[in-house]
């Protein structure tokens, strides 16, 4: 099963994404669930850079794993656009998880701020 997690800060803004595992829907090279999840994550990172000039910090990238965080300081426009792309990522993942619940688990975590 693929486990995908979107992390929000205390203000409800997306700050990170992590995805790992294999869907197990079909054999390697033919697994449409793995392919769809991978495309959504990689496209989000690429779109953040190409469309928003936001350099996501990729903290993990290997077979069956992608993790990235958004920079802490973004302009208002970059923040707006990055949040829109992250919301799009969430919508795509929710759609896949709804259609393939045995192959994709999506979690949304809200990070508590420590004072």
Mean pLDDT, residues 94-114 taken together: 92
Q: Please report the pLDDT score of residue 29 as a whole number.
A: 87
Mean pLDDT, residues 61-81 taken together: 95
Q: Please report the pLDDT score of residue 113 as a whole number.
A: 65
Residue-wise pLDDT for 1-58, tens only, equals: 999 999 999 999 999 999 999 999 999 889 999 999 999 999 999 999 999 999 999 9
Contact yes or no for 109/14 (Cβ under 8 A): no
Mean pLDDT, residues 71-82 taken together: 96
Q: Which is it for the CA torsion 79, 82, 84, 89, positive or negative?
A: negative
Domains and CATH numbers, the chain: 2-110 (3.30.70.1490)
Chain-centre distance for alpha carbon 88: 9
Q: Please report the pLDDT score of residue 114 as a whole number.
A: 60
Contact yes or no for 5/109 (Cβ under 8 A): yes
């Amino acid at each position: 099963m693929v486990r995908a997690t979107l992390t929000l800060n205390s203000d409800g803004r997306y700050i990170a994404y992590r995805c790992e595992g294999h869907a197990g829907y079909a054999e390697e090279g033919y697994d449409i669930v793995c392919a769809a999840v991978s495309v959504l994550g990689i496209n989000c990172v690429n779109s953040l850079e190409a469309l928003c000039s936001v350099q996501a910090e990729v903290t993990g990238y290997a077979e069956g794993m992608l993790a990235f965080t958004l920079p802490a300081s973004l302009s208002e426009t970059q923040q707006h656009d990055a949040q829109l792309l992250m919301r799009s990522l969430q919508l795509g993942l929710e759609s896949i998880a709804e259609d393939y619940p045995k192959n994709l688990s999506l979690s949304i975590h809200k990070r508590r701020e420590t004072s």
